Structure 1
Amino acid sequence: MNLSKAEILAKANAASKNTLMETLNIEMVDYGPDFLVARMPVNSRVYQPDGVLHGGATAALAESVGSFASHIFLDVTNKFVRGTEITANHLKSVTEGFIYAKATFLHKGKTTQLLDIRVTDDDDNLVSICRLSTISLPRKK
């Protein structure tokens, strides 16, 4: 059964209910044959004490979109996906608007995956570059 782009995004966003993604208002907003994009509003809920975007919130956005990408682009019928490592290089401060995280695969193996996640602001300025490693493991019966 092939789902439409809108159905895939709606399914991903519905899975975020009562999770960190809902708490941070992370929303999956675009999907293509080899990428997934999520966005998160930048406001006082995700600030550091000095009023700029917290790097941990950026990392949470990156891990969320990367993990969802692994779920969407891999056959996870009998498997589950977990993040194993994330790195984030923060390059620019943000105080308002949205940030967008675009996840693409650098390696899409059956067991391990490596994703490149570019985080940009409303003006497409690069905010952070993240790398996420995930692992696909068999579900226990």
Structure 2
Amino acid sequence: MGIWHDEVGIEELNEKNLGCLNETLGIEITEVTPTSLKGRMPVDARTIQPAGVLHGGASVAFAETLASWAGYLAVDRSRFHVVGQEINANHIRPVAPGNWVYGEATAANIGRRAHVWEVRLTNEAGKLVCISRCTLAVLEVPSAYATADQRG
């Protein structure tokens, strides 16, 4: 299990992605390793800018999604909820439509009240597209992450 509080299936995470921005952008969680969380996002009409390449805002939304899910997995969800507090991103290279961008969130620090996650986004060739750091606040309330029908 590594850094995770307990096991949560990828299917459960992706089910909770439905009915919100994560689904709108096509974000999918693909793997939980002992020390990281991985996902992917399509580069298409939902995620490009007017110049026809991956939008930096879509990259940031993808990075924060991965960091937030990683924080969610790292806490006791019956007692804690994580929320994004700060995020930054450096955009390195463009990605054209018809491709995927892949992300991996790894912990820089998992504290009692705050987490810092590094998220690296790469293209299909494995080249760095964006690097982001996201700080999450750890709130002492049960997690509010839910499926679309539970939210509704």
* Structure 2, unpaired ranges of 5+: 1-5, 143-152
Partner residue, 1:17: 18
Partner residue, 2:46: 45
- Give matches, 1:1-141, under 5 Å: 3=7, 8-96=9-97, 97-139=99-141
Distance in 2 (CA, whole Å) between partners of 1:48 and 1:111 is: 36
SS of structure 2 residue aligned to 1:45? coil
Report percent identity of matched pairs. 35
Distance in 1 (CA, whole Å) between partners of 2:42 and 2:102 is: 9
Amino acid in the other structure paired with 2:117: L
* Structure 1, unpaired ranges of 5+: none
Distance in 1 (CA, whole Å) between partners of 2:78 and 2:124 is: 36
Distance in 1 (CA, whole Å) between partners of 2:78 and 2:34 is: 19
- Shift in Å, 1:119: 0.3
Amino acid in the other structure paired with 1:95: A
- Shift in Å, 1:44: 1.8
Q: Deviations over 1:38-58 (max 9, x none)?
A: 100001221111101100000
Distance in 2 (CA, whole Å) between partners of 1:73 and 1:79 is: 10
Distance in 2 (CA, whole Å) between partners of 1:48 and 1:73 is: 33
- Shift in Å, 1:76: 2.2
- Shift in Å, 1:13: 0.4
Range that drifts further, 71-80 or 39-48: 71-80
Distance in 2 (CA, whole Å) between partners of 1:23 and 1:44 is: 11
SS of structure 2 residue aligned to 1:44? coil
The TM-score, its normalising length taken from structure 1, stands at 0.92
Which protein has the bigger strand share? 1
State the aligned residue count. Answer: 136
Amino acid in the other structure paired with 1:11: E
Greater relative contact order structure (CA < 8 Å, 6+ sep): 2
